[in-house]
């Protein structure tokens, strides 16, 4: 600061006229020096006050600014930049930062970058991360009841599931479970009805499942296990190498868009449908409760709005991308589509009911959630049969359109 002042003083002095006998000589210059000296003292005094004020402001405001910015470590169970699941996480992270004007700084960690894909639940529960994006059926070791918040064999579609959560008491039950782990859950985007899976051979009857090593998480996996299938639960990024090495004989993943991106057609050519196991798979977000409570009401509203907006955006991506992906799998890569026979689907439905009832009877929480779920399912099926299914049947009638 002293060098700055000296330079400014020297600069001001250079603006004065040099000594000239014809212009009053020394007297005039001494007068100018007196005036300059007074101005210099005022300048120095003023600068000292400004400098002190600035220093005090810096001392107060620097920590205040740093304290005003909250860091949110966001972990996902899905591969980095993977179409849909990966790009969705990118959008959520960017929008939370933008909508809060940077007051919440999001650091995104995809599967394996901070914790393993199936380690995101513990990371957020233990406070090592603030939010995760996953699917609840990845965590049956925490509570078997969490399966109901992702997908149920022969259960509800994703729209019916959202309706149960938001208007049928499902959210309250889900929040009760997560509260025991210090977290607050939110519905994430849905993939819609899934395909039945990829296999190296065609499935014609129930006995064809016996002895297979098949990747299927959740309650659907429990149904196949009851049929003698060696069921494994692998993160998405590990499915292809497991198929390639022969560690598994087949797998379900999501649907045409994601399955094309993972390249399963390079190993398996038999693609089965429909997916009895996941009629409307709903993803999940969850935030560490202490972090959530540390946010202002405004910040909470922003985060919740971003998550709700992403539910719509990513969910409709599947209907937008899957038709072209399915066509490419069949026409460009020689994939064979196989519809499961009705008698097989009927038997799978019966076994699914038995498996779910047995699971629900195993603990009080699962029973409570299952009672709520199946009660709402009965109402939802009645309306969907008249509304959506009635229209879908009418759309298939043989008339010329357009």
Which domains are assigned to the chain?
67-189+282-331+350-395 (3.40.190.170)
Enter the DSSP assignment of 113. Answer: T
365 alpha carbon, distance to own chain's centre: 26
For the entire predicted model, the pTM comes to 0.82
Report the pLDDT value the prediction gives residue 402, as an integer from 0 to 100. Answer: 84
Q: What is the mean pLDDT of each run of 10 residues along the chain (402 residues)?
A: 37 33 38 40 41 38 58 97 95 98 98 98 98 98 98 98 98 98 98 95 95 97 96 95 97 96 97 96 98 98 98 96 98 98 96 96 96 98 96 96 90
Burial 125-141 (b: 16+ CB within 10 A, else e): beeebbbbbbbbbbbbe
Report the pLDDT value the prediction gives residue 29, as an integer from 0 to 100. Answer: 38
CA within 13 Å, CB half, 328: 15
Under DSSP, is residue 168 helix (H, G, I), strand (E, B) or coil?
coil
Query: ω before 111 within 30° of 0 (cis)?
Result: no
d(CA 192, CA 84): 13
d(CA 84, CA 86): 6
Determine the angle formed by the axes of helices 25-68 and 2-14, rounding to 10 degrees: 140
Report the pLDDT value the prediction gives residue 43, as an integer from 0 to 100. Answer: 39
Report the pLDDT value the prediction gives residue 68, as an integer from 0 to 100. Answer: 83
Cβ atoms within 10 A of the Cβ of 122, count?
16
d(CA 361, CA 374): 14
d(CA 258, CA 85): 9
CA angle 373, 121, 291 (to 5 degrees): 100
């Amino acid at each position: 600061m002293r060098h700055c002042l000296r330079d400014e003083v020297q600069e001001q002095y250079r603006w004065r006229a040099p000594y000239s006998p014809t212009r009053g000589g020394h007297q005039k210059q001494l007068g100018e020096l007196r005036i300059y000296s007074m101005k210099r003292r005022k300048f120095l005094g003023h600068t000292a006050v400004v400098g002190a004020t600035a220093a005090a402001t810096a001392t107060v405001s620097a920590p205040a600014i740093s304290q005003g910015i909250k860091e949110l470590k966001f972990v996902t169970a899905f591969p980095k930049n993977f179409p849909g699941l990966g790009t969705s996480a990118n959008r959520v992270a960017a929008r939370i930062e933008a909508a809060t004007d940077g007051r919440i700084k999001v650091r995104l960690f995809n599967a394996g970058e901070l914790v393993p894909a199936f380690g995101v639940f513990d990371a957020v529960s233990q406070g090592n991360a603030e939010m995760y994006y996953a699917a609840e059926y990845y965590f049956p070791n925490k509570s078997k009841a969490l399966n109901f918040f992702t997908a149920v064999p022969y259960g509800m579609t994703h729209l019916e599931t959202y309706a149960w959560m938001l208007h049928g008491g499902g959210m309250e039950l889900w929040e009760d479970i997560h509260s025991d782990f210090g977290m607050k859950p939110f519905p994430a985007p849905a993939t819609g009805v899934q395909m039945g899976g990829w296999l190296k051979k065609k499935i014609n009857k129930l006995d064809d499942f016996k002895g297979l090593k098949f990747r299927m998480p959740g309650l659907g996996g429990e149904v196949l296990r009851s049929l003698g299938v060696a069921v494994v639960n692998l993160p998405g990024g590990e499915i292809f190498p497991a198929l390639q090495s022969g560690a598994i004989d087949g797998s379900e993943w999501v649907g045409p868009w994601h399955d094309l991106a993972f390249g399963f057609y390079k190993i398996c050519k038999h693609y089965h449908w429909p997916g009895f196991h996941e009629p409307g798979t709903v993803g999940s977000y969850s935030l560490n409760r202490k972090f959530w409570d540390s946010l202002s009401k405004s910040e909470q509203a922003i985060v919740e709005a971003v998550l709700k907006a992403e539910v719509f955006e990513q969910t409709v991506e599947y209907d937008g991308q899957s038709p072209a992906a399915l066509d490419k799998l069949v026409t460009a890569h020689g994939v064979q589509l196989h519809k499961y026979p009705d008698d097989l689907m009927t038997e799978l439905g019966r076994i699914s009911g038995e498996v779910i009832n047995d699971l629900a009877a195993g603990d009080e929480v699962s029973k409570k959630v299952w009672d709520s779920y199946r009660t709402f399912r009965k109402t939802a099926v009645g309306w969907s049969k008249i509304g959506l299914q009635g229209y879908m049947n009418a759309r298939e009638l043989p008339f010329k359109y357009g």
